[in-house]
Structure 1
Amino acid sequence: MFRTLLRRAGVVALATAAAATVATTPASAVQAGYYKNAYSDTIYHYEGDKAPTPIDFQTWEAAGFPVPKDTPTSYVKYAWSPHVYAVTFWEHADQTWQWDKLDFNQWSRAGKPAAQNAGWIKGSEYYKFATANEIFVESDGVKHKLTAAEWQASGYRTFVELTTVGFMKMSWAQDIRYVTDLGVYSDVYIVDYADWKAEDFPTPQAVHRLPGDGFYRSCSVYSTIVYDGPILSKVVNYNEWVAAGRPAPSTTECIYT
């Protein structure tokens, strides 16, 4: 019987969670009136019991050109992300907050304000792989493994547990694999350093052996030992073979490399 090595493939897109909210609101409620933020020309009419309404020039003219007040806006970002957000607290309830991700021109127009580190930003998605007790957040394509303090600062967001998805490795080898079906070890993808870094270094589950795996001689070079299993197929060097427990290779099968 002949076996072949796994082919190189990219890591598939990860499932993510729905967003929730946490931030610090102003001490007092916003009064009804006309408002404008520092990073755009939009004027809002706020009635106090309804969502703020952007108005056009004709509506502003009909109102007598009232001078708009500054919106109650703060500037925030994640410590691990370059993206700056403006969050306007129209009311205490987080459902009323207005979030705008600023581009460079908007940020410059606002006076290049220093952004405070946020515990949570709208649109953030929280998730956990089945292979480690770590919680991750993704915002604007940036993925980050949360510390205990950062998760606490988020307000202990609800996260999606990816029960069949995770990262694995053999305990005696460095190679990391991304597995989308841990039940049967199907859809396995090679993870190089760039892939792993992009996911913010999730800890892979280390296993010594897996069902159906084995050590074999190379069909081409008899002295070469090859491991073939559900998540990894590779030529094994001496140190790896020793770390694996010096398993005797099969005497009835070989494997092409």
Structure 2
Amino acid sequence: MLRSLTALAVVGTLAVGGLAVATPASAASASGTFYSVPYDSTLFEVSTVDGRPYVEPASFESWRSAGFPKPVAAPTDYRRFTWDATIYAVSAAGSASFSTYIDGAQWRRVGSPAPRTDRLTPSATILQYQGSDELFVVDGGSSWADDNPGYHQLTFAEYAHLGYPAVDQTSPRIFTKLSWNPTLVGPISSTGETGPVPFDVWDYFARPTPAVVASYDGDKFCQAAGADEIRYIGQAAPDGMALTFGEWVAAGSPKPATC
């Protein structure tokens, strides 16, 4: 899926529910066991990171240093989500599981098996925003690649098909709107700044229903001397916007200051 630069710019700090993949820099000793997979020649090794098993592709040097031990075949199945054509290989390396995308050639190499669609991959989690019934799959893709996660809002039928997986993470809502104006307010940069968001940012996060608020901190209503027009200046319109009479009434008929 193509994603705009605007949307990707905010993902780093706002990948709520995204996969925080442990990095090899914090890894302890490796197990010394190497695992092979059926779809290509890559070997994998399990290390311990923060007390948990972590799988990563093994280098040739690492395998050679261990004396070229015979790899253990990692049990592997194939999965995809019903809303996407991407096929994932999901493998077990001892007590650790890992997943990665596979391409058409790799899929044909293993006989083009029908992927199962009724389970999440190890790199996918279920996210729920506070105060909302909506559930989202946050797909980290490969277990070790530094990919921006993908978001998908589940229908009830999709959730049931996946076996009603438990929610892995709850998060405050990241999109809001005024009760009297349709403008979405949310993340507009990786620094945490918020403001009016373009459609592609909201779409990237799978269009979660925004929380409705009466006002934002710093909202201002003003009127130029002698003018009938009342203007709103705030998070929903940093440069200001003229209000209709109906909007002003819906906002609570605030007494305007002088612009």
**TM (normalized to structure 1)?**
0.59
Once residues 205 and 166 of structure 1 are traced to their aligned partners in structure 2, the CA distance between those partners, rounded to angstroms, is 8
Query: Are the aligned partners of 1:119 and 1:155 in contact in 2 as well (CA < 8 Å)?
Result: no
Q: Identify if the C-alpha distance between structure 1 residues 166 and 132 changes in structure 2 by more than 3 Å, giving closer, same or farther.
A: farther
The percentage of aligned residue pairs carrying the same residue is: 24
Match of 2:81 among 74, 78, 83: 78
How far residue 248 of structure 1 moved from its aligned partner, in angstroms, is 5.4
Task: Give the alignment of 1:60-71 within 5 angstroms.
Answer: none
Structure 1 letter corresponding to 2:182: Q
CA displacement 1:167-201 (0-9 Å, x = unmatched): 10012211101169xxxxx8323211111111100
Structure (1 or 2) with the greater strand fraction? 2
Q: Bigger radius of gyration, 1 or 2?
A: 1
Task: Name the SS for the 1:116 alignment partner.
Answer: coil
Q: Indicate whether 1:226 and 2:234 are aligned.
A: no
Structure 2 letter corresponding to 1:105: A
How far residue 145 of structure 1 moved from its aligned partner, in angstroms, is 1.7
- Unaligned regions of 5+ residues in structure 1, if any? 1-7, 20-34, 45-53, 61-67, 181-185
**TM (normalized to structure 2)?**
0.59
Match of 2:220 among 214, 225, 232: 214
| Residue-pair matches, total | 204
Query: Are the aligned partners of 2:18 and 2:138 in contact in 1 as well (CA < 8 Å)?
Result: no
Counterpart of 1:138 in structure 2 is: 138
Once residues 105 and 228 of structure 1 are traced to their aligned partners in structure 2, the CA distance between those partners, rounded to angstroms, is 56
Q: Identify if the C-alpha distance between structure 1 residues 247 and 214 changes in structure 2 by more than 3 Å, giving closer, same or farther.
A: farther
Query: Are the aligned partners of 2:99 and 2:123 in contact in 1 as well (CA < 8 Å)?
Result: no
Query: Are the aligned partners of 2:17 and 2:138 in contact in 1 as well (CA < 8 Å)?
Result: no
Once residues 135 and 143 of structure 1 are traced to their aligned partners in structure 2, the CA distance between those partners, rounded to angstroms, is 10
Once residues 176 and 43 of structure 2 are traced to their aligned partners in structure 1, the CA distance between those partners, rounded to angstroms, is 53
Q: Identify if the C-alpha distance between structure 1 residues 197 and 15 changes in structure 2 by more than 3 Å, giving closer, same or farther.
A: closer
Moved over 6 A (4+): none
- Unaligned regions of 5+ residues in structure 2, if any? 1-5, 20-34, 45-57, 142-148
Query: Are the aligned partners of 2:128 and 2:171 in contact in 1 as well (CA < 8 Å)?
Result: yes
Structure 2 letter corresponding to 1:135: L
How far residue 120 of structure 1 moved from its aligned partner, in angstroms, is 0.9
Structure 2 letter corresponding to 1:144: H
Once residues 219 and 98 of structure 2 are traced to their aligned partners in structure 1, the CA distance between those partners, rounded to angstroms, is 54
Structure 2 letter corresponding to 1:174: P
Higher RCO (CA 8 Å, separation ≥ 6 residues): 1
